[in-house]
Structure 1
Amino acid sequence: MKIDILTLFPDMFSGVLGESIMKKAQEKVKVTFNVIDFRKYADNKHLKVDDYPYGGGAGMVLMPQPIFAAVDDLTKEKIKKPRIILMCPQGATFTQEKAEELAAEDHLIFICGHYEGYDERIREHLITDEISIGDYVLTGGELAAMVITDSVVRLLPGVLGNEDSPVKDSHSSGLLEHPHYTRPANFNGLDVPEVLLSGNHKNIDLWREKESLRRTLKRRPDMLDKIKLSDQQKKWIKEFEAENI
């Protein structure tokens, strides 16, 4: 996968893209990052990228010319148009489903805005997706682009050490992930559930499925409306409700 990130603050990405899983993904040649200061595409003497909004109002608005020129440069030799993603609090809320969808693409372009907003022609005539990471406002789109990039890249085949990891993540299965335990088996009088020490993988899988369902019912019951429950899961829910979860 190729990921281009258009930003006025490219140095913000050096730590995130140069450490941990993002670094390993590049070393494994699973992804290439290209962080671009789109100011260099401005066609005016002072490399100005924003201006006052027509009609008046607070703040400055990003001009269309530098963004259009940057995207044109990145896509001029492309046969297939990449996904061009505008980071904006007005966009659709980012989900694991969207992460999985984007992970199937070959090329993503993120546009990180600043100031009061974008010239509307960018939104109407250039982008393919408009995404928000939540109902709040950041000073710019950079942090949101980092979140989405991390979420997408970790899903690429071969990026994580265990291929089952992304499949069993919270939200990937429609449920929250089950509890995890590691050594020691007893810590300060607190024991690991006995089934996890049994070596019986069938029983362990059942326990994990049940506890995943219990956790979802307790913390995010709204998620259960979006999946088809098995007969066994329905029985478990009745047990949980009888136990007050």
Structure 2
Amino acid sequence: MVHIIFPPTLTEEEEILKQKYAKLRKKKKALLAARAPKPEKEQPINAPTKRAAPENAGDATQQAKKLLKLGAIKIKESQEKQNFKRSKNFEKRKDSEKIPAVGFQPFSSSHQDEEEKEKNRPRARGLYDTFVSGGTEREGGREREPPPKKGHTIYVNGNGISEDILRKAFKDIGTISHITMEKDKNVGFVTFESMDASDKAIAEVNGAMFEGVQLRVSMARRQPTFDSQSNEPQSTASWSTIAASSSQKGNHRDRRGQVHYEDEDLFG
């Protein structure tokens, strides 16, 4: 019979192997514990049961009163009063959107002053006002002169008048030296070489109809100047002289002195 004698102590390799087996057993227990089904938690026996909801509104009111008496329900009383305040900006915007009421507004003194200035403001004069008599209007403190009895220029008025109509109407009266038109006023001025032709034109053509236009002929109030040798009007300069004599700027004189800069160096 063979007897095996084990040493009382383990060798170093056996100690390491023993520790490894101990770790494996711990891991195996933890794995089994994780895979095992967890038991359901038992509900406590003394848990309060839920009350059934009241069937109608009357039961709910009675139940609420009982709870108030027992002190289970407390109602918070708010001491501060909450009021709605409208914004001031909203009030201003609302006022600005209002349409002002329409009412009678009497004329102020400023409007009357403006109307008086408009009446007193001088009006620009045209050929019509230059050659035609203006009645009792005054110019430069004197009454306007009446139309002359003799002259080379006649005044013709008619609705829709034109230069062609004037030439056709007066071609048989005499030699025409100049025709001036002012179409916006239906006015024309015809100048003949002789005064007899202008008198004849007034006598024969005044009130006559030419191409559907009735002509009213009279002697022009202002007559252009003529050259004594050629007996012809002095081109267009004479007409400009007549217009300038009737305007307000014709009698104006500039009182300012003339300044000469010939002897001074402006850029020196």
Give the TM-score, by structure 1 length.
0.24
**Relative contact order higher in (CA < 8 Å, ≥ 6 apart):** 1
Give the TM-score, by structure 2 length.
0.23
Structure having the higher Rg: 2
